[in-house]
Amino acid sequence: MQVTRILAVRHGETAWNRDTRIQGHTDIELNDHGRWQAARLADALRDEPIAACYASDLLRALETAQAVAHARGQTVTPHIGLRERCFGRFEGHTWSELEHRFPEESLAWRKRVPDFAPDGGESLLQLEARVVSTVQEIAARHPGEQILLVAHGGVLDILYRAATRLGLQAPRSWELTNTAINRLLWSPEGLSLVGWADAGHLQPEQGKTLDERHA
């Protein structure tokens, strides 16, 4: 059986990341540091065999993927299924604003209640179903090849859990650093983990651990 090797990467930094402001489906571009991270990522992956580059259609992910693809003379295929979790009315608010304005909903979010969805947004269960089916669809096109997927913190969190068979409510103990390189294998049996959170290309500046509220 031929597996598909996946390089899964979270987009570069945005101004809203720095402000601890929820982005979700809101289309925020990279900041200057995020563009620097994307350029470092492109350099780190320059010699990797990559058959195809896919990205969320949101600008922060698309711009990150384009930095890698353009350095290789390739193009990026955007896919709406790789979007961040939709946070509905949470989007645009900082963590502290959410705790003040929507205390009960904010608590359910922080506790990772699987079927909780902010008004107008997605639940973790809905996000999981979307992300897993999207990655299965994409990976099945490339047996025996390696592909790049550039997405978001919430998407990468789901992929880690799927590959390690962890439940949606298990506490997060792994890093989701902007533009860190994460390696997975996909077969029809599912995902498996090869390597996680390689941020050597960002040295000497270290990325920060991503908790649930960075999505």
Closest C-alpha among 140, 139, 184, 137 to residue 162: 184
Q: Is 93 a catalytic residue?
A: no
What number of CA atoms fall less than 13 Å from residue 108's CA on the CB side? 14
Catalytic residue, candidates 13, 25, 63, 84: 84
Nearest to 172 by CA among 186, 187, 193, 158: 158
Q: From the candidates 11, 25, 93, 142, which is the catalytic residue?
A: 11
Residue 9: both structure tokens together: 């990467």
User: Do the beta carbons of residue 101 and residue 131 sit within 8 Å?
Assistant: no
Contacts of 184 (CB under 8 A, 6+ apart): 5, 6, 8, 159, 163, 191, 192, 193, 194
Distance between CA atoms of residues 101 and 189, nearest Å: 43
Q: Sign of the C-alpha dihedral, residues 190, 69, 26, 95? A: positive
84 labelled catalytic: yes
The residues facing 191 across adjacent strands are: 186
Query: Which residues are annotated as catalytic?
Result: 11, 84
